Amino acid sequence: MYKTPCSRLSGLVGVSVKQKLVQSFPRCNQTARSLIQLHRRDPSNWLTYQHLNFLKRQYVTKNNSELHQRAIPKQAPILTIVDERDDSVERQVHRISTIDPADADTVSQPEDDTSQAQPEISTLKPSTEDAAVQNDSVSSTVLTSDEPPHVHVESDEAKEARLDKQWKQLKLDVADLPDVYARLSKIKLTALVVTTAAAGYAMAPVPFDPIIFSVACLGTGLASCTANSINQYFEVPFDSNMNRTKNRPLVRGQISPLHAVSFALACGVPGVALLTLAVNPLTGFLGALNIFLYTCCYTPLKRLSISNTWVGAVVGAIPPVMGWTAATGCLEPGALLLGGFLYSWQFPHFNALSWNLREDYSRGGYRMVSVTHPGMCKRVALRHSVGLIGLSTLAPVLDVTTWTFPIISLPINLYISYLAFRFYRKGDRSSARKLFFCSLWHLPMLLLLALTCKKPRNDQDPVLPPAPLVS
């Protein structure tokens, strides 16, 4: 029977695939056997993140395969009894002969009597050539004497101070897990993200649906927890060098890296699934995009380029857009306007915060604008503070608010612009601190004013004239 070229080619491909499988089977079998042996040797700890090469590579190594992880040193045993058989100790032992009562008069003689003091001194100082013989005799004297060994007694205060300086393995209690999870997910930042997403939903020109609103807020919060947890997982070696972040759970060893990654997955998968299936696919896509931008773009850029601040501003601008799309199911100019508010607000907020943390960021190796380009840091904060005035004026043009919003929001926008100008002129810690604390209440006030000036919906059906009666 004649075979076509195509059938011959498929036969050759099948044979090659079969050979590859036969060659790889012993290696797979060996790997399976090693895992089984590992499980039998230590069933309680047979699979940790150390056996996952990807997680191990990402957690332990960074740029140019340079090791940055800090390990817990092995505690050396403390010797409280001096071993006098050691040669180094023998050379430090000075034997003092006992004084007989008969020789008391000789010892109590005045020091100016050099005729009798000189022989005593000469007997206590042996010659150089007899040093080895004297060491042996001293050793035998020490070992055969009935004197108790020299014991170093450590006080309780000294022991406590010494233990505090050493690295300790912290044991996690189940009751502490909620607090650990809250710090791992940066609960305050997550609350701000959920608040901005809720504001975006409330500003959308659609009827309010409490179920969709609750699901959208829950999914956004879970996505934020995922992004923050993975961010801390990647930055453990660098957070340990900063005073602001050295007490984070992963840095202190309160939970394992595998535990942190598992928590991130347990939050991220249901969060994105809720946004996609229960809300709409567009909102789910924006949630997944925000996780990707925060973990895979913003986090590594913090050590590579000052552009990380602009990427981080985009990440912070997405949650109100997600709230708007959760309500309407589409991207509209109003959603982009709310995202613009968050984008511009983050520059005076973060630049003022990072200005007083320059030493910390420098120790951690982060390339922030305040560290590498201090002049640009002040200019960008001032520029975007003034930009908030223009965005507020644009809101009624896009039919998001009424024309009263630019007027009533002008005082708070002028005030933050004034503080940004002072920060630009002085550039000291005091002006940066005032600008930062002003940004904390400026954003909620701005969103609240926008909500009060929200343009009413035109969803009422037009009144039709009554139909004429047919005679």
Q: Is the same domain home to 397 and 317?
A: no
Is residue 123 situated within a structural domain?
A: no
Q: What local confidence, expressed as pLDDT, does residue 68 receive? A: 46
User: What does the mean pLDDT of the chain come to?
Assistant: 76
Looking at the domain assignment, is residue 192 inside a domain? yes
Q: How confident is the model at residue 165 (pLDDT cuts 50, 70, 90)?
A: low
Is 146 or 456 the better-scoring residue by pLDDT?
456
Same domain membership, residue 340 and residue 294: no
pLDDT at 157: 77
Instruction: Please indicate, yes or no, whether residues 236 and 226 belong to a single structural domain of this protein.
Output: yes
pLDDT at residue 460, as a whole number: 45
Q: What pTM value is reported for the model?
A: 0.63
Predicted confidence band of residue 255 (pLDDT cuts 50, 70, 90): confident
Query: Is the predicted pLDDT of residue 373 greater than 60, yes or no?
Result: yes
Band (63; pLDDT cuts 50, 70, 90) = very low
126 pLDDT higher than 60:
no
**Domain co-membership, 327 together with 316:** yes
> Same domain, yes or no, for 188 and 324?
yes
Distance CA 243, CA 282 (A): 39
Q: Would 441 be classed as within a structural domain?
A: yes
Question: In angstroms, rounded to a whole number, what is the distance separating the alpha carbons of residues 444 and 411?
Answer: 14
| CATH number, domain with residue 191 | 1.10.357.140
Question: Which whole number is the average pLDDT over 185-208?
Answer: 93
pLDDT of residue 59: 45
Min mean pLDDT across 27-36, 45-54, 445-454 is at: 45-54
Distances (CA, A) of 153 to 89, 158, 165, 466: 18, 10, 19, 105
Domain end call among 331, 365, 389: 331
Query: From the CB of residue 294, how many other CB atoms can be counted at a distance below 10 Å?
Result: 23
Beta carbons of 225 and 267 less than 8 angstroms apart:
yes
pLDDT confidence of residue 396: 92
pLDDT at 83 over 60: no
| 433 shares its domain with 305 | no
Residue range of the domain that includes 298: 175-331
Residue 312: other Cβ atoms inside 10 A: 20
SS3 89: helix
Can you give the pLDDT at residue 11? 59
Q: For residues 183 and 185, what is the distance between their CA atoms, to the nearest angstrom?
A: 5
Assess whether pLDDT exceeds 60 at residue 247: yes
User: How many domains are there within the chain?
Assistant: 2
What is residue 178's predicted lDDT score, i.e. its pLDDT?
A: 87
Average the pLDDT over 343-354 and give the result.
Answer: 93
* Burial profile 42-79: b = 16 or more Cβ within 10 angstroms, e = fewer: eeeeeeebeeeeebeebbbebeeeeeeeeeeeeeeeee
Residue 365, in any domain of the structure: yes
Once rounded to an integer, what is the mean pLDDT over residues 448-467?
69
Does the pLDDT value for residue 300 go beyond 80? yes
- At residue 280, the pLDDT reads 92
Weakest-pLDDT range from 61-65, 165-169, 368-372: 61-65
**Alpha-carbon span 202 to 199, nearest angstrom:** 5
Q: Is the pLDDT of residue 89 over 50?
A: no
Pair of tokens at residue 454 = 């929200």
